[in-house]
């Protein structure tokens, strides 16, 4: 291993596993997207509270040992939905976060490496990042637990 995402984060370099959904799909199927986002948030909660249990699931799914899965999972930064909705990441629909800038910086790096021909404007990246359904998924999950 050369460097972990945690070590990069301490240097101010964001690495991420990004989930992308087409705007038309999100508009046509918002409940499915919110359900998926809520399930990802549950996975973060499971890993944070019961890492061995989460690693067992990942190990089985990927056909690797429990130890391997746990080691890989510990090298990642597990952000909850609430953390993703902060200005450091996606932000909120009313106050966009820094992720559009991260995408733009990545595009500049790819251009320097001659992997892409041009870098779109920052507006293109900002317009591509939406946290609305994530915010709604978090609010919906909170409401579903209020009566319990």
120 is a domain residue: yes
2 is a domain residue: no
143 is a domain residue: no
Residues 71, 104, single domain; the answer is no
Question: What percentage of the chain reaches a pLDDT higher than 90?
Answer: 75
Residue 105 CA neighbour count, 13 Å, CB half: 9
Verdict on whether the full-model pTM lies above 0.85: no
pLDDT band at 142 (very low <50, low <70, confident <90, very high): low
Residues 25, 73, single domain; the answer is yes
Residues 85, 126, single domain; the answer is yes
16 is a domain residue: no
Dig out the tokens for 87 from the structure: 């200005």
Residues 29, 73, single domain; the answer is yes
Residues 70, 31, single domain; the answer is yes
pLDDT of residue 26: 95
DSSP 68-79: HHHHHHHTS---
Residues 96, 62, single domain; the answer is no
Residues 26, 61, single domain; the answer is yes
65 is a domain residue: yes
Q: What is the total count of domains within the chain? A: 2
Q: What is the number of helices (H) and of strands (E) in the chain?
A: 9, 0
Residues 90, 67, single domain; the answer is no
Residues 69, 85, single domain; the answer is no
Quote the domain boundaries for residue 114: 81-135
Has residue 49 got a pLDDT over 80? yes
pLDDT of residue 42: 95
Instruction: Pick left, alpha or beta for residue 92 (phi over 0 → left; psi -120 to 50 → alpha; otherwise beta).
Output: beta
Residues 90, 126, single domain; the answer is yes
Dig out the tokens for 98 from the structure: 């820094």
Which whole number is the average pLDDT over 37-49? 96
Average pLDDT, the chain: 90
The helix, strand and coil proportions of the chain, stated in percent and rounded to the nearest 5, come to: 65, 0, 35
pLDDT of residue 82: 96
Has residue 36 got a pLDDT over 80? yes
pLDDT digits (tens, 9 = 90+) for 91-109: 999 999 999 999 999 999 9
Beta bridge partners of 96: 91
């Amino acid at each position: 291993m050369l460097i972990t995402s945690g070590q990069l984060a301490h240097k101010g370099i964001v690495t991420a596993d990004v989930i992308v959904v087409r705007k038309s799909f999100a508009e046509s199927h918002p409940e499915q997207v919110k359900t998926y986002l809520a399930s990802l948030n549950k996975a973060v909660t499971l890993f944070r509270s019961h890492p061995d249990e989460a690693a067992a699931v990942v190990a089985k799914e990927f056909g690797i040992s429990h130890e391997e899965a746990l080691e890989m999972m510990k090298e990642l930064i597990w952000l909850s939905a609430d953390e993703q909705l902060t200005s450091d990441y996606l932000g909120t629909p009313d106050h966009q976060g820094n992720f559009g800038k991260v995408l733009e910086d990545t595009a500049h790096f790819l251009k320097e490496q001659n992997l892409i021909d041009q870098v779109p404007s920052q507006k293109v990246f900002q317009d591509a990042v939406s946290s609305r359904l994530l915010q709604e998924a978090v609010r919906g999950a909170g409401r579903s637990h209020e009566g319990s």
